[in-house]
Structure 1
Amino acid sequence: MNTANRITLARIALIPLFMLFFAKWPEWLAESSGLIRFMNDYGLCIAIVLFVLASGTDKLDGYIARKYNQVTNLGKLLDPLADKLLISAALIMMVQADMIASWVAVIMIGREFVITGLRMIASAQGIALAADKLGKWKMVLQVAAIIAVLLSNIPLQWINAIRIDDVLMLLAVCMTLVSGIQYLMKNFKALRLNDM
């Protein structure tokens, strides 16, 4: 296994850790364990660091794979899977913590299901559908919005009254929809033409 794939696997391994520290544990459990008390007091800060670290490895593994000619079929499978798992885990945990509305998570996660389904159909026809630029911008906006929400708009709350986390999340939802529709329109035509 090459370095790029190891980094991708490390990103996947960080996801359950992120969820573990993000979770709010019951008070009765925190009273009986110093570790659980620590996780309740500082877990969100650690979860943010883990999310930023995991998000950062997305660019790193891609850079290493291209620079050192380590692009593999396993990497092509694991890299987008790791992205989807990380974003989905964060969104689900944030809905549970009442940090975002559930419809935000449904739109973002639903888009990934639809695009993955389209890619599976294309794969069955022998067509490889590559990610496009809008999809990459969508990922950047989603990561920025999630980080802003996790930080509760800190330190920007002291600069102005506008909630940058809400603005970023709205932009991320819009980009998710636009990139999904554009991807479907562009690639659905290719699938139809291939069927003829």
Structure 2
Amino acid sequence: MNLPNKLTIARVVLIPFFVAALLYDGGGSKTMRIVADILFILASLTDLLDGKLARRYNLVTNFGKFMDPLADKLLVCSALICLVELGQAPAWMVIVIISREFIISGFRLVAADNGVVIAASYWGKFKTTFQMIAVALLIANFPALSLAADITLWAALALTLISLADYIAKNYRILTEGGM
């Protein structure tokens, strides 16, 4: 197993530890919130690093193509669900974000069944970046950063919808020609 794939696996392995730290004592422990934020940021950075390494050293694998976006979704969705539980993110917003992930995953499954690989778009990458920044700011839970966290979360929501529209516009033929 190559290094980019190990980093992807590390991201998935970090998720339960991150969730446990974030939800410890109902999210009220400042020390555990810092631990949760550090774990989340480390996991987020593995996303950046594994992709760069895979492309730079020609280490792209089918495992990585499948697991990397899945690991991102697991990390961000876990975090957002925890933030709803802690009253820091509106449930409707998280539902929209998670729904987009299911829709795109469905597109990718249909495409794969037809022998087509749908690569991540720039909109999707921006969306993921803004989601991760918003989550990190919300986890930090610093009053001085609350406006920045809110703005970043709204930007992430907007990019979520833009990237969904972009995927649908570029790939609608997969659904119509895929026998659905």
> Could you say whether these structures have the same fold, taking a TM-score greater than 0.5 normalized by the shorter chain as the test?
yes
Q: Distance in 2 between matches of 1:6 and 1:186?
A: 31
**Structure 1 gap ranges (5+):** 27-38, 158-162
AA in 1 matched with 2:112: S
Q: Which residue of 2 aligns with 1:50?
A: 39
AA in 1 matched with 2:3: T
Q: Using structure 1 for the length normalisation, give the TM-score.
A: 0.85
When residues 153 and 179 of structure 1 are mapped into structure 2, their CA distance, relative to the original with a 3 A threshold, is farther
Q: Distance in 1 between matches of 2:65 and 2:52?
A: 13
Q: Which residue of 2 aligns with 1:29?
A: none
By how many angstroms is 1:67 displaced?
Answer: 1.7
Structure with max Cα Rg: 1
Q: Which residue of 2 aligns with 1:165?
A: 149
Q: Distance in 2 between matches of 1:24 and 1:182?
A: 38
Q: Distance in 2 between matches of 1:194 and 1:6?
A: 34
Q: Contact between 2:8 and 2:67, CA under 8 Å: does it hold in 1? A: yes
Q: Which residue of 1 aligns with 2:14?
A: 14
Q: Which residue of 2 aligns with 1:188?
A: 172
Q: Which secondary structure does the structure 2 equivalent of 1:25 belong to?
A: helix
User: Do residues 151 (structure 1) and 151 (structure 2) align?
Assistant: no
Q: Distance in 1 between matches of 2:174 and 2:46?
A: 32
Q: Which residue of 2 aligns with 1:142?
A: 131
**Structure 2 gap ranges (5+):** none
Q: Contact between 1:11 and 1:54, CA under 8 Å: does it hold in 2? A: yes
User: Do residues 87 (structure 1) and 76 (structure 2) align?
Assistant: yes
Q: Contact between 1:134 and 1:179, CA under 8 Å: does it hold in 2? A: yes
AA in 1 matched with 2:176: R
After superposition, the CA RMSD in angstroms is: 1.8
When residues 23 and 194 of structure 1 are mapped into structure 2, their CA distance, relative to the original with a 3 A threshold, is closer
By how many angstroms is 1:24 displaced?
Answer: 3.1
Greater than 6 Å deviation, 4+ residue runs: none
